[in-house]
Every structure is written in structure tokens, then in C-alpha cells.
Amino acid sequence: MAGSNRLKNQHLLWRAGFGPMAADLPSLDHLSPKDLYRAIREASAGAPVPIEVLSSPLQSMAPGEGTVLPRKELSPEEKKQLRKKNQEDMRRLNIAWLDQMVHSKAQLREKMALFWHGHFASRSFDLYFQQILLDKIRQHALGNFGELLHEVSKTAAMIHFLNNNQNRKDHPNENFAREVMELFTLGRGHYTEQDVKEAARCFTGWGANQQGEFVFRKFQHDSGEKTLLGKTGNFQGDDVLDILLSQKQTARFMANKIYRFLVNDRLDESRAAWLGERFYQSRYDISQLLEDIFTSDWFYHPANIGARIKSPVELLAGLRRMLPMKIENEESQILVQRVLGQLLFFPPNVAGWPGGTSWIDSSSLMFRLRIPQILYHSDEIQLQAKTDDDQMMGIRDMPLERARVKGLGNMKKNAFIQVQINWEEFQASFARVPRESLTSALSGTLLQVPSEIRASTLEKYSDSGSRENYIKTTAIQIMSTPEYQLC
């Protein structure tokens, strides 16, 4: 099984995207993984279409009037209506990007955008700032890491989140300088506290205005000489980023992190070191790094197949890709993200989502196993939020009726998810499979590791009234197993 094209191609589709679509299934037995990767790469080569919920900076507009007013001049009721609109728009941005992950042919771009979304974690309650940051990440997701680092560092979302608007001459704020070294480039232990202080001086004067534009306030910049990582000069912010990129440790740190995201949570030191060296020599060419990973023989080694736990977003997008569906109340997907602990645009902290086994605990695993059944039956989602207060953004101790995630509005205790699944393409993929082989064929398609549940047990809980019902109900049963959580 581990040597088959189908298993390898499913592995590739899960790691370089969000899993196979029902329409992909007929070709997976015959297409070589290298040919499939070439197709995936070419499909993501073009520039992405921006996800535009707002076409201009978020402004306060008095209802019923055609003039833009400062927020402070609005009445309490107008402010309430504006907050409600912002919450609705934030939900729209979430769903719009999730839809791209499901339907876009540029799977590799959207998958790497999700990685960068966690790497450059930012939690801004200004929708327009979030939209700009997402646009930058999607534009540069497969390009050059150095360019991406420079672009992201100048977004209003990042500058506000890490307090660099308050970083001024003679009163430096070290937040951004520290995180750009610890989380974005070098990693902890590869710089000194003095490096942080000197870097903070370099970033003085970097800010963003209310229109989301980067501004350099030269009168707030410390123009004195600084020494950073052994280099001395009259440095500014861009110089710091270039100095960080000149360090091989940055390439190693990034290669290690991308290896864990795309290959295996257990790092293979020698392979990661090879990737880091290649990444550095390519001057941080992200596409070249991905080529090195996805065309290598070791990527398809059995130890790397089914070795990762799907993140909540991967799980939800993967279900929707395999089983094309129309979700009437799309916002119910935000509740699913919330329950499982990965709400797009609201990472738990500046370090992003930790991933790996942190996705699974007793409550979230039980809900994960129920999701296919909930979708199949258009059932009710019960909210049992994570207890980590940082993940809850300070609302852990509030009653659930009053708990509010800023920017997303009131959180409900439960909601019905209204779904219509289009089974035609999925069922057509198994049209030539003999009845006695259906269970095995379905498991081999939906799972990346062998199931510990016997075929006889699956059949016991499946509807054998017709071939179509058997395929539907057996597929849902397989998707409800612990093995389906792995990719």
C-alpha cells in the first residue's frame, strides 16, 4: 500500500494542499507523484486574486448619511451599528479565505499562505489591516522569504500588534525587534538581549497610519550608530531585516519549521540541515525549497505518510474537498473553528498555533470524530470552548452567553449546520469497484494509515439498502475514525 501511486499522491495532495477532491480520485492510481507535483506547482504559479471584503480602509460612516465622520463623532447607536458591521465583515473574510482553500486550484499557494499566517501571527481587530496582511502573505507565499519578511514587517496589522507605533527615539519599544528575531527569523537562543535593544533602536520611527499604510517618522527615529549581531552602522529597520537574512541560522530555522509543517513533526536533522543550506544558497527561494521537499524520495517514505495531525482548518477544508457540499449557514464553520481551537485571523498569541498533538485533547477529539456525522445529518454543533485563556483571548471566565470574541461578535452555545452534500462525483469514483471490495477501496481513499477498525464493524453501522447508501454511510463512518485525523 505504501508503494502505490494512489497513497503517495494522496499524501502529496494533503501536504501540498488540503487533500484530494472527489474529481481527482480517478487519476491518482496512474499519475506519478512528480507529474502530479508539476501540475500542482503550475496551478499555483499565477498571482492570486485578492480576497477583498473591504475596498477601502475601515472608516466610520454615520448611517443614512453620505459623509465619513470621525469615530468619536458617532452616537452610541451608530458606534454599535459600526461594530456589528465590522464583525460581519470579519466573518466574511474568514469564510472567503476558507472557500479559497477548498475550491482554488492554487492549492500550494493557499497551503503555504496558511503556514505563513501562523508564522507571521497577528491578531488585529481592524478588518482592513487583516485584509492587507493576508494579501501580502498570499502574494509572496511561494516567492522569496526575504521579500515576504520585509513586506509583512511593514503591514499595519503587524506594526500595531507588536506595538511598533510606540517605538520612538529615546523611548524604544522592544516588542517587534524581539519577535522578528525569536519567531520570524533566528529562533530563540541565537541573539542576545543587547541585540534586541539595538534592533529596537533601528526600528524606531516605523509606524502605520489609519489607512493601513506604512509610514517612516524620521523625527522619531534614532539615527545613532548601532551594533547588531557583530555588525555596526547607522542602521534602520530594513537593514536589520537584511542582517537577519544574512545569517545562515535564519535559513536553518525556517527550513526546520517548514519541514515540520509539510513533512513530519519529528525533525530529521540531516535532511532539515540539507534543506536549510539549499534555502540559504538559493537566497531564500520558497518555491525551490518546496521543490526540494516534494520531489525527494524521502518525502514519500512510509514514516512520513499519515504522520501529521490535521489542523482544524485542514480537517474542515479536506472534508469539503472530498465531499462537495453546499453549506447554507456558512458562518457555522466559524463555530467549528472556534470549538477546535484554530480560528483564522485569531491566533492564540504571536507564536501562532503550536500544532502537532496540541490539536487533540479529550473534548476536541470527540468533536472531531462527530463532524462528518454532523455534516451528513445537518446536526447541531455544541460549543465547548478551549479552556486555555490565551486561546480564549481573556474571555475564559465569562458566561458563554456573554463571551465575545472581539471582531466576531457574540459566541453562541450551539448552532445547526445546514448542509447539502453532492455525492455524485464521489460515488462515480467507485463505480467499477466490486461490492465486496468497496470497504477496502473507501478506506484506501479516505485514510493515509491502515484503520484499526474491522471492515465487519464498519459494515455493521452502514446502510446496505443500496449501493449508493452503502458508499455514503461507509464513507461517513470511515471519516469518523481516529485514523482520519491523520494526513
* Residue of 101, 97, 83, 122 whose CA lies nearest to 346: 122
479 and 343 together in one domain: yes
pLDDT at 459: 82
pLDDT at 60 over 50: no
pLDDT at 73: 76
Long-range interactions of 207-213: CB distance < 8 A, separation 24+: 207/159, 207/164, 207/165, 208/129, 208/154, 208/155, 208/156, 208/159, 208/160, 208/165, 209/156, 210/57, 211/57, 212/57, 212/126, 212/128, 212/129, 212/132, 212/155, 212/156, 213/156
Domain assignment present for 25: no
Q: Give the domain extent around 396.
A: 312-485
DSSP string, 371-393: HHHHHHHT-EEEP-----HHHHT
Helix %, strand %, coil % for the chain, to 5?
A: 55, 5, 40
Domain C-terminal end among 237, 261, 288: 237
Domain assignment present for 85: yes
Give the least confident one: 55-59, 298-302, 343-347, 386-390.
386-390
Give the least confident one: 114-118, 301-305, 381-385, 464-468.
381-385
Domain C-terminal end among 139, 158, 177: 158
Residues 445 and 452: their CA atoms lie apart, in Å, by 15
pLDDT at 79: 77
Average pLDDT, the chain: 90
324 and 461 together in one domain: yes
Note whether 141 and 113 are within 8 A (CB).
yes
Mean pLDDT on 307-333: 96
Region of 471 (left: φ > 0; alpha: ψ -120 to 50; beta: rest) is: alpha
Mean pLDDT on 247-270: 98
Residues 79 and 392: their CA atoms lie apart, in Å, by 25
Residues 352 and 116: their CA atoms lie apart, in Å, by 10
353 and 416 together in one domain: yes
pLDDT at 247: 98
Q: In the structure, what pLDDT confidence band is assigned to residue 461 with cuts at 50, 70 and 90?
A: confident
100 and 144 together in one domain: yes
Domain assignment present for 14: no
Mean pLDDT on 230-258: 98
322 and 427 together in one domain: yes
52 and 151 together in one domain: yes
Give, as one character, the DSSP assignment of residue 423: -
Residues 485 and 311: their CA atoms lie apart, in Å, by 9
- Give the pLDDT confidence of 393-425 residue by residue, as tens digits: 333 333 333 233 444 555 455 677 889 999 999
C-alpha cell recorded at residue 485: 485525523
CA 361 to chain CA centroid, nearest Å: 20
In the chain, the amino acid numbered 390 is D
pLDDT at 203: 98
C-alpha cell recorded at residue 146: 526575504
- Give the pLDDT confidence of 189-218 residue by residue, as tens digits: 999 999 999 999 999 999 999 899 999 999
Q: In the structure, what pLDDT confidence band is assigned to residue 87 with cuts at 50, 70 and 90?
A: confident
- Give the pLDDT confidence of 168-180 residue by residue, as tens digits: 999 999 999 999 9
pLDDT at 389: 39
Domain assignment present for 247: no
Between helix 237-245 and helix 175-182 the angle, nearest 10°, is 20
Measured CA distances, 355 to 13, 217, 349, 352 (Å):
19, 38, 13, 9
- Give the pLDDT confidence of 104-153 residue by residue, as tens digits: 999 999 999 999 999 999 998 889 999 999 999 999 999 999 999 999 99
pLDDT at 440 over 70: yes
Total tally of structural domains belonging to the chain: 3
168 and 90 together in one domain: no
Residues 460 and 466: their CA atoms lie apart, in Å, by 14
Domain C-terminal end among 142, 158, 174: 158
Domain assignment present for 268: no
The pTM assigned to this predicted structure is 0.92
Q: In the structure, what pLDDT confidence band is assigned to residue 6 with cuts at 50, 70 and 90?
A: very high
Q: Identify the bridge partners of residue 216 per DSSP, sorted by sequence position.
A: 206
